[in-house]
Structure 1
Amino acid sequence: LHYLFGGTLIGLGMVVCGSCPGTVFVQVGSGIVYSLFTCLGGILGTYFYYAFVHERISQEKFLASSLVLRRLCDVLPIPSTACHVIFGLIFLGIAIGLEFAVPWKSDLNPDLLSKGTVNPDDATGHFLGLAAWPPSACGAGVGLLQLFFMYFLEKSLGASSAFTVFAAQVCRIKIIGQAIPSLNSFTYGLKNYVALLFALGAIGGSAISAGLSKTIPLGPENGTNILNSILGGFILLLGARCAGGCTSGQGISGTTHLLIGSFITTASIFGGGIIFAFSYSLSNSEWLFQNL
């Protein structure tokens, strides 16, 4: 149940603050001030999880044969390689279909295009200075990044772990480490530090891109406020820790491994987010983020 519950919380948090645990670092680098409050809420949500929730969830033991811990290729009568190829082609087909249905340039914020350009010939530094990149190129880049993490760092790509590692640094103080012992394992170690470096890299890369494309500062264009940012960040990270990953850890890394638990989490993320956003629009006659 924690996959379902955690994923739903992530979807709810995304709607409330207009970000996910990964894109909030991009927002920080892009100059969106409210994203700093989302980070604050995320850190608070992380502390809340490890102080009050982690012990209960850790007691929920799954058998090695449990369906949520298995891969689709383990339960389908198809060889593993063929299964990965088939699902890869399915996802590519969905992406291509969506691109034809909704061309990515038509879905951009007009205010963004008033500041920058999506024409490489007019951009500073050619493609590095574009106000937005094609989703297909970005997706391919994330896929290559996943390969880098797996082969060179022996860990999966994930963003919410950066919040956990950052929050865990206070456990260097002995009394705090004793109060929240479940955070101690995230305090030291190369793999933990890599999570922080990934977050810093995302912030730096976003700042460089936004600077070259002349889209800094974006200001309040994410359509939220301080309270929603803190609350949304809190819900986001609470959900991510409950689910054992976020939109990147479960949604990207887990699904590329065809983990059934990751598919459950990802479906819950989007299902929970869509239901909450639609419910909000019915009660307020408008969407939360019309300016995105």
Structure 2
Amino acid sequence: MAATLLSGVAFGAALAASGVHQPPVILGQFKLANWDMLETFLTATASSTLLISAFHAANLVKLSPRCYSTLGLFAHYDGNIIGGALLGAGMALARSCPGTVLAQVGAGLPSGLPALAGALGGGLVFTSLVRPWLRTACKLAPAKEPSRTVHEALGINRYVAAAAFEVVLAAAVAGLTLLPSVSRGGFVPASPVVGGLLIGLAQLVSLLLRHSAIGVSTAYEEAGDLVRWPFYSPKSERPKATSVIFAGGLVGGAWLLSHVLPALFQVSTTTPMLATVPVWHSVLGGFLMVLGARIAGGCTSGHGITGISLLSVSSFVTIGSALGVGVLTAKIFL
């Protein structure tokens, strides 16, 4: 329990220090006006890929690639596409994601609590209504299951693929530094590269302390199960709460940093993109992003950082859908 809590604290502090929990940074990314979020994300993924590959090679951890998620509609990965689309739309509306909403709450951002309320509602609806319809392609017969990872699909060595991926990520981060970005206003907590490395450090803490990688959206599913548990059969065991503990640590990490280093959270209210997030945007966005994340089997941390670091095809599909729909939502409606 202590290891899980401390891992959450490290991740929450890293998100807050990087600044990617700030609504204008997220909205600016989806409007293709500020590239800090993507640069931070790619740097975090690069450092996470290096760490996970090293831990795997040393037999310190054995992490399985992310499974495909399917609703049985049109493909093995239709759940990843549909869930990713809902995740992206929700992120654009709430200016948040299942992980950063917890950092927003910890840092005291006004949009945090409404988005969290919507997110918890999304977790409850998922556990009550959607989960029974969802299947995982990992439970298919081996002959019917597509390759779970990029290197398996290409027929190349895992570490060769990881090394090539690191080169691609490094080139992408270098390219993003050359793109003009609209200022987020106020004090910039850390450069995107430093912020990404801090998130990678949080991944290291999680790997060392609990031999597991970071991921947040399962916490909302566990919360939904805990809410429904009193209505189960009296003989039912209490649902797991491991991810809820991790999420609590995440809130605590952001709160702690906001009090230890308050200058990190001083921003200018004159910057247009810092306009208050409408409450209904926060609630609806929180609901959609968690419902989508659970349909897809992960969010921007579970799929985006950990899953992509494992070269999981389902994670590339999910995050690609989320980014694409998030941009469309921001461009059309915001």
Shared fold, TM over 0.5: yes
The whole-number CA distance in structure 2 between the counterparts of 1:66 and 1:198 is 40
1:240 to 276, 293, 318: 293
Q: Which amino acid aligns with 1:108?
A: S
1:230 to 265, 278, 283: 283
1:46 equivalent in structure 2: 123
Give yes or no for contact 1:165–1:196 (8 Å, CA) kept in 2: no
1:73 equivalent in structure 2: 151
**Do structure 1's residue 97 and structure 2's residue 148 form an aligned pair?**
no
1:203 equivalent in structure 2: 254
1:242 is displaced (CA, Å) by 0.3
Q: Which amino acid aligns with 1:99?
A: T
**Do structure 1's residue 136 and structure 2's residue 190 form an aligned pair?**
no
1:44 is displaced (CA, Å) by 0.5
* Larger CA deviation: 216-225 vs 251-260: 216-225
> Mind listing any 5+ residue stretches in structure 2 that lack a counterpart?
1-77
Q: Which digits, 9 at most, give the CA deviation of each residue in 1:72-109, with x for residues without a partner?
A: 1112232211110110121121011101223xxx5332
> What is the CA RMSD across the aligned residues, in angstroms?
2.8
1:4 equivalent in structure 2: 81
Q: Which digits, 9 at most, give the CA deviation of each residue in 1:236-282, with x for residues without a partner?
A: 110011011101110111000000010000101101111222222xx
Q: Which amino acid aligns with 2:149?
A: R
1:214 is displaced (CA, Å) by 5.5
Describe how 1:175-214 pairs up with structure 2 within 5 A.
175=231, 177-178=232-233, 185-187=239-241, 191-208=242-259, 211-213=262-264
* Larger CA deviation: 131-140 vs 247-256: 131-140
Alignment CA distance shift 1:269-1:2 (3 Å): same
Counterpart of 1:146 in 2: which secondary structure?
A: helix
Larger radius of gyration: 1
TM-score computed with the length of structure 2 as normaliser: 0.68
1:35 to 96, 112, 130: 112
**Do structure 1's residue 83 and structure 2's residue 140 form an aligned pair?**
no
The whole-number CA distance in structure 2 between the counterparts of 1:146 and 1:12 is 26
Alignment CA distance shift 1:45-1:275 (3 Å): same
Alignment CA distance shift 1:73-1:67 (3 Å): farther
1:251 to 267, 280, 304: 304
* Larger CA deviation: 80-89 vs 28-37: 28-37
Total equivalences in the alignment: 253
Alignment CA distance shift 1:168-1:204 (3 Å): farther
Give yes or no for contact 1:30–1:210 (8 Å, CA) kept in 2: no
TM-score computed with the length of structure 1 as normaliser: 0.77
